[in-house]
Amino acid sequence: MESSLNKYLKAHSSVPSEMLSWLEKQTHLRTNYGRMLSGSVQGELLKLLVEISGAQRILEIGSFTGYSSTCMALGLKEDGSIDALELNDELEDLMREAWEKAGVEDKINLHIGDASKTLESFADRLHYYDFVFIDANKREYSRYYDLVFPLVKVGGIIVADDVLWDGKVLEENPSKDAQTQGLLHFNDMVAEDRRVEKVMIPLRDGLTIIVKKSD
Ligand SMILES: C[S@@+](CC[C@H](N)C(=O)[O-])C[C@H]1O[C@@H](n2cnc3c(N)ncnc32)[C@H](O)[C@@H]1O
C-alpha cells in the first residue's frame, strides 16, 4: 500500500511521462520485485540532480528494469552518456525496450555482470565520472564506494540509495543480516570520510547525496 506521504509527494512533484508510468507497470507485471524501482519522485530528483549539476558522464550500479537510468538520461545533455551496471541478464529486454521508448537508448551502455568486477575493469577511468548512482547489492556498498571513488571527478556527485533500509539501520540492536550490516558500515564510512560533503535524506528508503571535495 502506498503511504499517504508518498501520494502527497507525488501529487506535488512533476508528473512522470507516460513512458515512465508504462515502465513502472511493466516492471510490476514482468518481475517479482517491482518495489525495487526508484519511482516517480526519486526518479525526478535524480533527473534534476543530473540537470542541475550538468553531469555528462554517469555511472549507475544496479539498473534493474531501467527506471532510474531512464530518468537520469532524460536529464542529460545531448552528448552525455551513462554506463549502466546490472547483474541479471534476464532484465535486459525490458531495460532496452524502456530506453528505446524513451528515446535514450543511444546514451546508455549496458554492462551485464557483477558490478564489483565491472568496476575493477574500469580502474583506468580516473576522474572520468561526474555522477554515480549506487543501487545494487547492499552488502557491497562500501566496496562499490572504494572502487568508484577514484573514478569520480573532484566536484562530482555520488548518490547512494536505500541507506535507511526500511529503518533497520536505526534500530538499537540492528539485525546481523549481511545487507543491514553492509549498509551500517557504508553509512559510517561515508559519515567519517573527510574527502566528501554529504547529506542523508529520508526520501523513500533513504538517499545519501555525496559530493567529492578531494581525492
Ligand atoms: C534496487 S534494484 C535497482 C533499481 C534501479 N536503480 C531503479 O531505480 O529502478 C538493484 C539491482 O541491482 C542488481 N544487482 C544486485 N547485485 C548486483 C551485482 N553484484 N552487480 C550488479 N548488479 C547487481 C539487481 O539485479 C537489481 O536489478
CATH value at residue 87: 3.40.50.150
From ligand 1's centre to the CA of 11, what distance in Å? Answer: 27
User: How confident is the model at residue 177, as a pLDDT?
Assistant: 97
User: How confident is the model at residue 24, as a pLDDT?
Assistant: 96
Q: How far is CA 29 from CA 23, 188, 213, in A?
A: 10, 37, 42
Number of H helices, E strands in the chain: 8, 7
Specify the pTM. Answer: 0.98
Residue 87 CB contacts under 8 Å (≥ 6 apart), including other chains: 112, 113, 114, 115, 136, 137
User: How confident is the model at residue 3, as a pLDDT?
Assistant: 87
Which range of residues forms the domain containing residue 184? 4-212
Tens of pLDDT, residues 96-110 = 999 999 999 999 999
Residue to mutate (ligand 1; options 44, 63, 72; most atoms within 8 A of CB): 63
From ligand 1's centre to the CA of 12, what distance in Å? Answer: 28
Task: Report the C-alpha gap between 141 and 161 in whole angstroms.
Answer: 10
Task: Report the C-alpha gap between 104 and 21 in whole angstroms.
Answer: 16
Residues with CB under 6 A from ligand 1: 36-38, 62-64, 67-68, 85-88, 114-115, 135-137
User: How confident is the model at residue 1, as a pLDDT?
Assistant: 73
What residue ranges of the chain have pLDDT lower than 50?
Answer: none
Contact 152, 134 (CB under 8 A): no
From ligand 1's centre to the CA of 62, what distance in Å? Answer: 3
Tens of pLDDT, residues 162-180 = 999 999 999 999 999 999 9
Number of domains in the chain: 1
At residue 114, the 3 state secondary structure works out as coil
User: How confident is the model at residue 183, as a pLDDT?
Assistant: 98
Chain Cα centroid distance, residue 119: 15
Of 159, 184, 191, which is closest to residue 169 (Cα–Cα)? 184
User: How confident is the model at residue 64, as a pLDDT?
Assistant: 98
User: How confident is the model at residue 102, as a pLDDT?
Assistant: 98
